[in-house]
């Protein structure tokens, strides 16, 4: 029988609202308050010292063992060092509260913190100040990106990661690998200005990623295969590689992906799909409400992506792409026009619809749109249903489209962080898309 108080707990623990693009509820099934009431395992009671020198990995492992079947592992405010990496595996009904700053001191590859095979999990900062400092510049200055990734969740169900900051990873910052029903939000990620330092990579099922800021020079928030029901919204690529999908190879299986309210500043691209050969399919993709400024590429679906080797196969089949409401400017429309849809000759894409798309060039007075093996509606896309291959066609325009002007963000980064100096832990921005407040209030905000 339900008592009134257990009913109340249920109401409070109700996971975040379900958006249409998701297939069901996301987030932990139990609130961290309920877990804390059951048990709290403070790592400083298990041997951790906040002296910025002593490795906390053994203490973190012990605290996890004590709380992994129901409870909250707490890393309180303070400066901690980590020289060995942890795999926190097999937890259920637990949370990891990161209020302190963990600084990498070890040099192994792999993942500093790996959460695996867990259910009903939450990684969060109660103050919004919890962070992991990777000091990746110590690797990058030597031309290496072979150090550790900062955070990976693998095979985790019903979980959230929020209100934490990841800084200067030697390698990727955060991977969401083969997870289900997850929510990632209110995160700041700030890395060095070079490739291979991805922000968030996700290949999973039913994941909501929102209100995230990424500074780096590679993937901002990127979907890989296999993935289904991924909703990405309110993303601030604040000097980055930009958002995208890929790269894709054999057996690609990606569907029901939405990116909405994506602000991209001084990045490689606003959205890029990357493949070269391979097979499988990508369908039901919505890319709406994008604003860009200072980016080299804007919308690029490139199935002959030259930065990867050609993989055996007829090409990944793309279909049902709904792309609308893009505004802003690209760097140089004569060199890299704002629309490029280049699909595979042996698998022309279809039902790619582009509407309400108004972007203009920052340099010069013209730009072009280019399509190849691509069917759908809008711009240079071919209509019809025979889906025969055709060579690249370009449409030149020498007049700015109406309504292209779009706001910038006051906090746009003016110069990159480079790769040779340490990067400070940033504070969380108040907003991740012009005029839009975070869906869930930032931790520690009034
Ligand atoms: C995850 O939560 C859903 C309810 O939202 C539940 O049906 C499912 O069993 C949970 N998964 C696991 C592995 O417990
Ligand atoms: C794409 O969406 C349609 C309509 O919602 C759905 O019937 C179809 O199964 C989806 N495609 C995939 C591969 O899931
Ligand atoms: C288009 O995007 C802008 C933000 O760039 C938003 O304010 C507006 O409501 C969107 N329009 C539609 C029709 O969704
Ligand atoms: C593309 O446009 C066609 C024709 O207007 C429409 O039937 C189809 O539903 C649209 N598909 C998407 C994914 O927007
Ligand atoms: C973008 O980066 C700059 C430089 O660090 C920073 O000042 C600004 O706060 C960042 N923007 C946001 C929204 O965090």
355 C-beta closer than 6 A to ligand 4:
no
Which residue has the least CA distance to atom 9 on ligand 5? Answer: 411
Span 394-407, pLDDT tens digits: 999 999 999 999 99
Which residue has the least CA distance to atom 10 on ligand 3? Answer: 289
Partners of 135 in beta bridges = none
Helices within 122-176 (DSSP H only):
137-140
Span 247-287, pLDDT tens digits: 999 999 999 999 999 999 999 999 999 999 999 999 999 99
206 C-beta closer than 6 A to ligand 1:
no
Which residue has the least CA distance to atom 6 on ligand 3? Answer: 289
Residue 425's contacts (CB-CB under 8 Å, 6 or more residues apart) are: 101, 131, 133, 165, 167, 190
The alpha carbon of 159 and the centre of ligand 1 are apart by a number of angstroms equal to: 10
The alpha carbon of 441 and the centre of ligand 4 are apart by a number of angstroms equal to: 36
Which residue has the least CA distance to atom 12 on ligand 2? Answer: 255
The ligand with the least distance to the CA atom of 30 is 1
Residue 405's contacts (CB-CB under 8 Å, 6 or more residues apart) are: 327
Among 22, 283, 318, 353, residue to substitute to test ligand 2 (most atoms within 8 Å of Cβ): 283
Which pLDDT band, with edges at 50, 70 and 90, does 26 fall under?
Answer: very high
320 C-beta closer than 6 A to ligand 4:
yes
Asked if residue 359 lies in contact with residue 292, where contact means CB atoms within 8 angstroms, the answer is yes
Q: Quick one: which atom of ligand 3 is closest to the CA of 289?
A: 2
Look at residue 256 in the predicted model and tell me its pLDDT.
97
Q: Does the structure show a pLDDT above 90 at 90?
A: yes
Look at residue 413 in the predicted model and tell me its pLDDT.
64
In the three-class reduction of DSSP (H, G, I as helix; E, B as strand; rest coil), residue 7 is classed as: helix
Q: Which of 140, 162, 293, 350 is catalytic?
A: 293
Look at residue 417 in the predicted model and tell me its pLDDT.
63
44 C-beta closer than 6 A to ligand 2:
no
Which run of H or E residues covers position 231? strand 227-238
- Show the tokens assigned to 341: 């849809």
Span 361-381, pLDDT tens digits: 999 999 999 999 999 999 999
Partners of 176 in beta bridges = 153, 202
Look at residue 17 in the predicted model and tell me its pLDDT.
42
Which residue has the least CA distance to atom 1 on ligand 1? Answer: 158
Asked if residue 337 lies in contact with residue 310, where contact means CB atoms within 8 angstroms, the answer is no
Partners of 212 in beta bridges = 187, 235
The ligand with the least distance to the CA atom of 291 is 3
How many angstroms separate the CA atoms of 124 and 165, rounded?
Answer: 10
Backbone φ/ψ region at 96: left (φ over 0), alpha (ψ -120 to 50), beta: beta
208 C-beta closer than 6 A to ligand 5:
no
**pTM score of the predicted model:** 0.94
Annotated catalytic, 293?
yes
How many angstroms separate the CA atoms of 332 and 131, rounded?
Answer: 37
Among 168, 193, 215, residue to substitute to test ligand 5 (most atoms within 8 Å of Cβ): 215
Distances (CA, A) of 359 to 37, 205, 233, 293, 411: 53, 33, 20, 9, 22
The alpha carbon of 350 and the centre of ligand 4 are apart by a number of angstroms equal to: 10
Cis-peptide into 50, omega within 30 deg: no
Q: Quick one: which atom of ligand 1 is closest to the CA of 24?
A: 5
- Which of 424, 436, 418 is CA-nearest to residue 235? 436
CATH number for 23-220: choose from 2.160.20.10, 2.40.50.180, 3.30.300.30, 3.40.50.10490. 2.160.20.10
The alpha carbon of 76 and the centre of ligand 4 are apart by a number of angstroms equal to: 52
- Which of 18, 6, 39, 26 is CA-nearest to residue 153? 26
Annotated catalytic, 120?
no
Once rounded to an integer, what is the mean pLDDT over residues 283-292? 97
Which residue has the least CA distance to atom 2 on ligand 4? Answer: 353
Look at residue 445 in the predicted model and tell me its pLDDT.
87
Span 211-258, pLDDT tens digits: 999 998 889 999 999 999 999 999 999 888 999 999 999 999 999 999
- Which of 216, 256, 255, 257 is CA-nearest to residue 236? 216
What is the rounded average pLDDT for all residues in the chain? 93
Q: Does the structure show a pLDDT above 80 at 50?
A: yes
For 38, list phi and psi in degrees, rounded to 5: -80, -50
Q: Does the structure show a pLDDT above 80 at 170?
A: yes
The alpha carbon of 284 and the centre of ligand 2 are apart by a number of angstroms equal to: 6
286 C-beta closer than 6 A to ligand 2:
no
Q: Which of 99, 120, 168, 218 is catalytic?
A: 218
């Amino acid at each position: 029988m339900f008592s009134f108080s257990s009913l109340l707990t249920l109401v409070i623990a109700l996971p975040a609202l379900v958006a249409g693009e998701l297939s069901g509820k996301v987030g932990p099934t139990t609130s961290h308050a309920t877990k804390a009431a059951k048990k709290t395992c403070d790592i400083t009671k298990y041997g951790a010292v906040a002296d910025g020198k002593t490795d906390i990995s053994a203490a973190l492992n012990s605290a996890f063992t004590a709380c992994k079947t129901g409870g909250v592992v707490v890393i309180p405010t303070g400066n901690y060092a980590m020289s060995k990496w942890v795999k926190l595996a097999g937890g259920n009904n637990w949370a990891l509260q990161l209020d302190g700053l963990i600084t990498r001191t070890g040099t192994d590859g792999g993942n500093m913190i790996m959460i695996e095979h867990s259910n009903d999990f939450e990684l969060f900062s109660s103050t919004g100040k919890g962070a992991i400092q990777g000091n990746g510049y110590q690797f990058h200055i030597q031309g290496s990106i072979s150090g550790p990734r900062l955070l990976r969740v693998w095979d985790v169900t019903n979980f959230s990661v929020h209100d934490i900051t990841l800084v200067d990873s030697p390698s990727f910052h955060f991977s969401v690998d083969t997870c289900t029903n997850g929510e990632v939000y209110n995160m700041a990620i700030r890395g060095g200005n070079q490739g291979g330092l991805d922000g968030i990579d996700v290949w999973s099922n039913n994941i909501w990623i929102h209100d995230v800021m990424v500074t780096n020079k590679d993937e901002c928030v990127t979907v890989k295969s296999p993935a289904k029901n991924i909703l990405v919204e309110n993303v601030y690529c604040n000097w980055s590689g930009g958002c995208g999908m890929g790269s894709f190879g054999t057996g690609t299986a990606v569907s029901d992906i939405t990116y909405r309210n994506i602000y991209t500043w001084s990045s490689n691209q606003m959205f890029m799909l990357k493949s070269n050969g391979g097979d499988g399919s990508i369908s039901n993709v919505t890319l709406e409400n994008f604003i860009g400024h200072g980016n080299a590429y804007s919308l690029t679906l490139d199935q002959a992506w030259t930065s990867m080797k050609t993989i055996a196969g007829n090409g990944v089949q793309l279909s049902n792409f709904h792309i609308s409401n893009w505004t802003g400017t690209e760097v140089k429309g004569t060199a890299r026009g704002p629309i490029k849809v280049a699909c595979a000759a042996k698998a022309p894409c279809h039902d790619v619809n582009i509407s309400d798309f108004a972007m203009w060039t920052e340099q010069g007075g013209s730009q072009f749109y280019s399509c190849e093996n691509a069917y759908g509606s809008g711009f240079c896309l071919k209509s019809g249903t025979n889906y025969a291959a055709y060579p690249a066609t370009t449409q030149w325009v020498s007049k700015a489209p109406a309504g292209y002007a779009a706001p910038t963000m006051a906090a746009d980064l003016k110069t990159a962080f480079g790769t040779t100096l340490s990067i400070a832990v940033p504070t969380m921005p108040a907003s991740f898309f012009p005029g839009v407040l975070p869906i869930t209030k930032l931790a520690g905000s009034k």
